[in-house]
Each structure stands twice: as C-alpha cells, then as structure tokens.
Amino acid sequence: MKLHLDTNIFLEILLAQDQAEESQILLKNTHHHELFLTDYSLHSIGLLLFRKGQHQTFELFLRDLAGLSLLSLSIDDTAEVATAATQFHLDFDDAYQYVTAKKHHLTIVSFDHDFDKTDRGRKTPREILSDSIL
C-alpha cells in the first residue's frame, strides 16, 4: 500500500505526544508499504523544531527518513489546493496534503479528523497496522 504520512504522525513521535507509540510502530513496520511525505510536512516540522531550538533533533529526524519518498506539488497542482480547501472546508496544510495524496493515489495516514470530510478519507496508524496483519 502507498501511504501518505501526515505531519502529525511525525510530530507525535518528535514531541512525545499521546499517540507516539502507535506512530513509531507504524514506521518500524513499513516493509508492507511505500511511505511518502510532502515537502510541506518536512518544512513545517523543521520550522517547529527550529523555533524550539531543536536543530539537532531535526538533523536526527532527517536521518530517520531513509526509505521515505518526498513529494511536492507543482505550481499548477498547487492551484488545486484552494479548490480542495473550499470544497472540503480544509485549511491550507490539510488541503496541500489532500491534493498531494490525490495526485499520487496515496492513502492518507493521519490523526486529523478533517480528512474524514474528504472523498479520500484517512486511516490512523492503528488501522494500517490492523490491515497489514490481516
């Protein structure tokens, strides 16, 4: 399965939040899946960590991304972000993730319920892991 990992999957781990363990288990059990993240997610994580003075954490994070593919949108594709935001009542970052997943035919993996309003929906790490076991 081709999985688009939303920013919050990584932030759960980096910030030691409630669903960090679930996110870590998914990232450690990726042999069944192709994993993708967007340049937007990468830059957002960098911005957050730099604001917290955690430059070294960002460097470690980058090393841990081995095996993931980085995706970005062209200017033409980015124009679709506004359409998706309006259609599904998403903010910019969620619309960017949605358009990227749609363009590349990816399953969105996220804890963000906003994706439930879209035609693509989303799965949580726990759901992906459960599907992989079946």
Burial tier of 121 (Cβ tally within 10 Å: 0-12, 13-18, 19+): exposed
pLDDT at res. 32? 78
Q: What are the tokens at 74?
A: 């062209």
Helices 92-104 & 75-88, crossing angle to 10 degrees? 120
pLDDT at res. 134? 43
**Smallest Cα–Cα separation from 35: which of 106, 105, 99?**
106
In contact, 42 and 4? CB cutoff 8 Å: no
Q: Residue 76 to residues 28, 71, 99, 103: CA-CA distances in angstroms?
A: 35, 15, 11, 12
Cα(131)–Cα(51) distance, integer angstroms: 37
pLDDT at res. 28? 86
pTM exceeds 0.85: yes
Domains of the chain, with CATH numbers? 2-23+33-133 (3.40.50.1010)
The per-type count for the chain, helices as H runs and strands as E runs, is 7, 4
Q: Residue 93: pLDDT above 90?
A: yes
Over range 33-52, report the average pLDDT: 96
Q: What is the pLDDT of residues 57-81, one digit of tens each?
A: 999 999 988 889 999 999 999 999 9
Phi, psi of 33 (to 5 degrees): -135, 155
pLDDT at res. 66? 83
**Smallest Cα–Cα separation from 44: which of 21, 89, 10?**
10
- Percentage of the chain beyond pLDDT 90 is 82
